[in-house]
């Protein structure tokens, strides 16, 4: 196989799976509205409910507790709110404790005011400081309402994994709610909402090879839910109004079944390839910094810096060499900005850092193309320093 380019930006978007494409196209061309009671409407409703079951099964949850959204950003804004209900009774959440390395969709706090948001510090590897979290929760004013903790299972830039079980224990001891952004973890690590003891998981379709435009909020139980973000026709049990994007949801469901299949085997192969790439990078440029290399990480992610390489310059240089990679998150309208993740880790946020993220379809040829491009970029930096 002779590929014209090496796609190494799976954390931004995974290539669309054949199974997801087939489901998306098949359902998109079906007539009828899923809320209609006639035969055509019921047929589309069955497709949505099948996808709901597939998504639930991918994280060990129940289909009844899956609310489909337009993506992870909407799911985050739905669940990050002070306004909850336990059954029919209102339940107040007075403060959001969010880790300092969250994706911007969570980091910005959703429907919480800036005054009601507190950052949880992380260590030099970007792992949540559990002692600091415990202190924050101990000091929480319980009379004002419940605390909510929002932490990602795996960081989108560094790939660092968080100790979710310990975070869940601390959160629930304080009577709080735990929201876990599992967008990058699904399909790369085994996920079980019950084992994690997360109250809510945030998921995204296009990160696992499904269509763009679909995501989900998965609750652990049926009775505790946030106030709706979108009101109207009462779809999704009233949790998210608006006619469902049935085609994208069907594709999401198809991708979810594949994401949950043979995760451990897939993770082992990805980690082996990622480690070989990093070892070669260190041989080519001994001064390369691979961030959080000694911390538990996603098996497919490497976040690295070269002295003197600006992220925007690096992206363009690799792109011209036929390699697609990114400078951290790709969810800021294409803008390259200082990394709040590096800043939270105690590093200079102006430090140029680039991310490669690979997937099941990444082959040795892709790795070789990246390493050759890396060699050229590093060589140009060396020549510039010498001059």
Q: Which of 331, 343, 349, 382 is catalytic?
A: 331
Residue with tokens 């949790």: 239
What the block records as the tokens of 79 is 């669940």
Determine the pLDDT at residue 231. 93
Lowest mean pLDDT among 6-10, 96-100, 131-135, 220-224: 220-224
pLDDT digits 0-9 by tens, 46-80 = 999 999 999 999 999 999 999 999 999 999 999 99
Q: Would residue 317 show up in a list of annotated catalytic residues for this protein?
A: no
Mean pLDDT for 244-249 is: 98
pTM of the shown model: 0.95
Measured CA to CA, the distance from residue 341 to residue 115 in angstroms comes to: 21
Measured CA to CA, the distance from residue 359 to residue 363 in angstroms comes to: 9
- Cβ contacts of residue 315 below 8 Å, gap of 6+? 325, 326, 327, 336, 354
Mean pLDDT for 360-377 is: 96
Which of 360, 363, 366 is closest to 18 using CA atoms? 360
What is the distance, to the nearest Å, from the Cα of residue 314 to the centroid of all Cα atoms in its chain?
23
Look at residue 334 and tell me whether its pLDDT is greater than 70.
no
Measured CA to CA, the distance from residue 90 to residue 81 in angstroms comes to: 13
């Amino acid at each position: 196989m002779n590929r014209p380019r090496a796609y190494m930006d799976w954390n931004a978007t995974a290539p669309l799976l054949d199974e997801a494409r087939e489901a998306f196209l098949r359902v998109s061309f079906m007539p009828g509205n899923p809320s209609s009671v006639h035969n055509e409407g019921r047929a589309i409703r069955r497709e949505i409910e099948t996808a709901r079951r597939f998504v639930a099964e991918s994280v060990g949850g129940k289909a009844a507790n899956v609310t489909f959204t337009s993506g992870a950003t909407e799911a985050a804004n739905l669940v990050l709110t002070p306004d909850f209900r336990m059954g029919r009774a209102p339940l107040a959440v007075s403060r959001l404790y969010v880790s300092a390395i969250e994706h911007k969709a969570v980091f910005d706090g959703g429907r919480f005011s800036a005054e009601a948001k507190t950052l949880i510090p992380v260590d030099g590897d970007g792992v949540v400081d559990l002692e600091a979290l415990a202190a924050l929760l101990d000091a929480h004013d319980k009379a004002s309402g419940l605390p909510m903790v929002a932490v990602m299972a795996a960081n989108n830039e560094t790939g660092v994994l968080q100790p979710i079980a310990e975070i869940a224990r601390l959160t629930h001891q304080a009577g709080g709610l735990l929201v876990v952004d599992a967008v990058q973890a699904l399909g790369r690590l085994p996920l079980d909402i019950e084992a994690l003891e997360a109250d809510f998981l945030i998921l995204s379709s296009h990160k696992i090879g499904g269509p763009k435009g679909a995501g989900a909020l998965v609750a652990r139980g049926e009775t505790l839910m946030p106030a709706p973000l979108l009101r109207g026709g009462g779809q999704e049990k009233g949790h998210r109004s608006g006619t469902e994007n049935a085609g994208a949801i069907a594709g999401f469901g198809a991708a979810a079944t594949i994401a949950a299949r043979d995760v451990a085997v897939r993770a082992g192969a990805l980690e082996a390839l990622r480690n070989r790439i990093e070892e070669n990078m260190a041989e080519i440029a001994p001064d390369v910094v691979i961030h959080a290399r000694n911390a538990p990480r996603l098996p497919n992610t490497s976040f690295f810096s070269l002295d003197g390489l600006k992220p925007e310059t690096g992206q363009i240089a690799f792109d011209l060499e036929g390699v697609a990679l990114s400078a951290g998150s790709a969810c800021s309208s294409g803008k390259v900005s200082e990394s709040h993740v590096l800043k939270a880790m105690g590093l200079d946020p102006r430090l140029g850092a680039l991310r490669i993220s690979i997937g099941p379809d990444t082959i040795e040829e892709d790795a070789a193309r990246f390493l050759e491009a890396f060699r050229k970029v590093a060589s140009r930096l060396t020549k510039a320093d010498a001059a």
